[in-house]
Amino acid sequence: MAMQMCNRRVTQATTKLVRQLAKSVLMKVEDNHHDDEYTRIPVPKTSTVKTIVSMYKYLLHDNASVTTGLNTALSIRHAHTDIQIPNFDYYRHADDNTVLYSYLTPIGMAITSTYIAKYMIRGKNAVFKWRNKPIFVRHHTPQEIIREEGVNVSQLRHPRNDSERVQKPEWVIVIGICPHLGCMPIANARDFGGYFCPCHGSHYDASERIRKGPAPFNLEIPQYVFKDDSTVVIG
């Protein structure tokens, strides 16, 4: 390897074959030649090529283990003091107001439910909320009562008589969640005059029994009791 040198300088020379493995060698060049001559820099013969075999003794080849404990000092701390967390105190309500609201809401819902159920027209439906679940209340007409009592339960997927699903023939109370995938059916739709699930096509009759579609069971009946002819308590 030869290069033209104009002034006294310190240069680094590496061989082409060991450029990626060998370290650079510092050499001082004596500039005692003319400008039109070349300076020849000899490459030291003591440089050795470092291979995986020669470097094996410097590599980690034993089983490594890490020890930690309460008395062991750790060099890495995953703690940050420059992260700012937003403050939502301005938007929070007082605890006493929240507790008062949680007690008054069921009372108001019970009063509203009693009032609406008392004046429900026969053949109509109403939806209430109980334990974050929709409650379907249907006021049957005399024709619906006769029709649902005459259904052959042996042909049903989930066989139940109408008398097993009601405490009073004119009132049907169920949880409005489709047992297929948890959708909410709509009232007075499709083939059997009851509820219909628009998500996957489950049909229910007026007694909320599954008649057609993928739902495996009838609509669930919650625990309830009639206090009088116009008042019902669920739960």
* Residues annotated as part of the active site: 200
128 backbone dihedrals φ, ψ, rounded to 5°: -125, 170
Q: For the residues of 145-164, what is the DSSP string, one character each?
A: HHHHHTS-GGGSSS---HHH
Separation between Cα atoms, residue 173 and residue 165, nearest integer Å: 9
Query: Which residue bears the tokens 């027209």?
Result: 121
SS3 of 72-127: CCCCCCCCCCCCCCCCCHHHCCCHHHHHHHHHHHHHHHHHHHHHHHHCCCCCCEEE
SS3 of 41-64: CCCCCCCCCCCCCCCHHHCCCCCC
Q: Classify residue 193 as left (phi > 0), alpha (psi -120 to 50) or beta.
A: left
